[in-house]
């Protein structure tokens, strides 16, 4: 694709699509041509390959019954490990450091149970005040389980502007009382990318274990977790990785920690060759598989196989390049077309700090999101006043971005949003 230069015309959007070397991947997905889907940072669209691999796993169950654990194209017994190997290039880890298992929150519970070992003065966990609520719930629970009070032992770094968190403020909070740090790689509202490399270095300089929640970065930006020395990470696979609603999540554990007993041990924590010895003494796997708990959810894992094949072909670097271009284009269109209509761009402008979505703030955000949906644009509302718009590199087009901003402009000029209550739906 040629270098991006802004032009507000419809013809320019169509020309950008013609130059898009990822354009062919759009046909891999089920696209509703009556809508413009800009919520892929919450739930990615279904791909035909994901549908196919789900069908293949159903067929293996039908054909092999229990022998599907060891037979067929995708034997179930080591499927979590094999998919970990497919994900590993997206996070910059070795295959053995990655496992597909659990959900974001159960995996975070596992990691905190494993790595939060308060001793002496080091008894507190450091997080931030803008992180996703479920991460905070998990951290509070783990602190209580260790006999401490979350009000005094969960330290949350304050935001200066309500949108972003400064690394300097996080580093300042890394006192000698901190035992563990858990942070998002990308803030779910504003899309700010935290400097994971710098924060990991600073944490380790102070003898603190640090882990990241990659839910809003995996599949959208590249990572080098092992090179950076990150201790652990957790994530879901149903946003940019398009594995389906409630799809199985993932864990990364740096190989330097292999051999550490899982805080929450279970059936699939076992070393594969020992698991069916049925001993009451756990022999943990000598890789990230040790941090599994229960039996893999095979039918929920299945769509991820096809999805990751697409990522392997597209390449995360090319996806990131388009993501930066198309989000830059959307911001420029917003500034050009919506000036004076009460919108504020709340995501970072700088490419190195911006994740995969745009974050608009407006006092009437909930109403505007409802009006967008009626007009065939699928956004995401985030309380109290945020509109998230994610032009996903694999399947969204520049033409869709151009049309969506024109629709938004029409909604504002005609005050269509006033037909709706400024209140979120049950699922925002």
Residues in the annotated binding site for pyridoxal 5'-phosphate: 104-105, 132-135, 213, 216, 238, 267, 295
- Do 315 and 21 contact (CB within 8 A), yes or no? no
Q: In angstroms, rounded to a whole number, what is the distance separating the alpha carbons of residues 391 and 414?
A: 25
Backbone phi and psi for residue 207, each to the nearest 5 degrees, phi listed first: 70, 30
Please give the annotated binding residues, written as ranges.
104-105, 132-135, 213, 216, 238, 267, 295
Contacts of 162-167 with CB under 8 Å at 24 or more apart are 162/130, 163/130, 163/187, 163/189, 163/190, 163/192, 163/346, 163/347, 163/359, 164/130, 164/190, 164/192, 164/348, 165/128, 165/129, 165/130, 165/192, 165/194, 167/194, 167/195, 167/198, 167/199
With b for 16 or more beta-carbon neighbours within 10 A and e for fewer, the 70-91 pattern comes to: eebebebbbbbbbbbbbbbbbb
- Do 208 and 202 contact (CB within 8 A), yes or no? no
Backbone phi and psi for residue 4, each to the nearest 5 degrees, phi listed first: -75, 130
C-alpha dihedral over 424, 426, 427, 428, to 10 degrees?
Answer: 10
């Amino acid at each position: 694709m040629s270098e991006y230069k802004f032009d507000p015309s419809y013809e320019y959007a169509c020309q950008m699509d013609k130059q898009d070397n990822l354009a062919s991947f759009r046909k891999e997905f089920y696209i509703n041509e009556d809508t413009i889907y800009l919520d892929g940072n919450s739930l990615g669209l279904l791909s035909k390959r994901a549908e196919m691999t789900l069908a293949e796993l159903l067929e293996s169950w039908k054909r092999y019954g229990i022998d599907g654990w060891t037979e067929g194209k995708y034997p179930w017994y080591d499927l979590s490990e094999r998919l970990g190997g497919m994900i590993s290039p997206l996070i910059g880890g070795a295959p053995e450091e990655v496992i597909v298992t659990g959900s974001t929150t159960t995996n975070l519970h596992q990691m905190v149970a494993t790595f939060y070992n308060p001793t002496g003065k080091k008894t507190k966990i450091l997080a931030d005040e803008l992180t996703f609520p479920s991460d905070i719930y998990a951290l509070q629970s783990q602190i209580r389980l260790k006999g401490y009070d979350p009000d005094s032992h969960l330290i949350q770094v304050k935001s200066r502007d309500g949108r972003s968190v400064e690394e300097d403020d996080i580093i300042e909070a890394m006192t000698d009382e901190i035992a563990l740090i858990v942070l998002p790689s990308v803030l779910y509202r504003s899309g700010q990318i935290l400097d994971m490399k710098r924060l990991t270095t600073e944490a380790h300089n102070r003898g603190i274990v640090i882990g990241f929640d990659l839910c809003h970065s995996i599949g959208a930006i590249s990572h080098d977790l092992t090179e950076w020395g990150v201790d652990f990470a957790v994530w879901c696979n149903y946003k940019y990785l398009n594995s389906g609603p409630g799809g199985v999540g993932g864990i990364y554990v740096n190989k330097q920690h292999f051999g550490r007993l899982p805080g929450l041990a279970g059936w699939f924590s076992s070393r594969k060759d020992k698991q069916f010895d049925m001993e009451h003494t756990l022999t943990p796997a000598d890789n990230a598989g040790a941090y599994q708990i229960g039996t893999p959810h095979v039918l929920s894992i299945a769509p991820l196989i096809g999805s990751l094949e697409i990522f392997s072909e597209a390449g995360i670097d090319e996806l990131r390049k388009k993501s930066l271009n198309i989000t830059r284009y959307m911001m420029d269109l917003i500034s050009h077309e919506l000036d004076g209509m009460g919108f504020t761009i709340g995501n970072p402008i700088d490419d190195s700090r911006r994740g995969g979505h745009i974050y608009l703030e407006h006092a009437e955000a909930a109403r505007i999101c409802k009006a967008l949906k009626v007009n065939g644009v699928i956004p995401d509302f985030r309380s109290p006043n945020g509109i998230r718009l994610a032009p996903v590199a694999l399947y969204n087009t520049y033409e869709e971005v151009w049309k969506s901003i024109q629709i938004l402009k029409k909604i504002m000029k005609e005050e269509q949003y006033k037909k709706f209550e400024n209140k979120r739906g049950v699922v925002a």
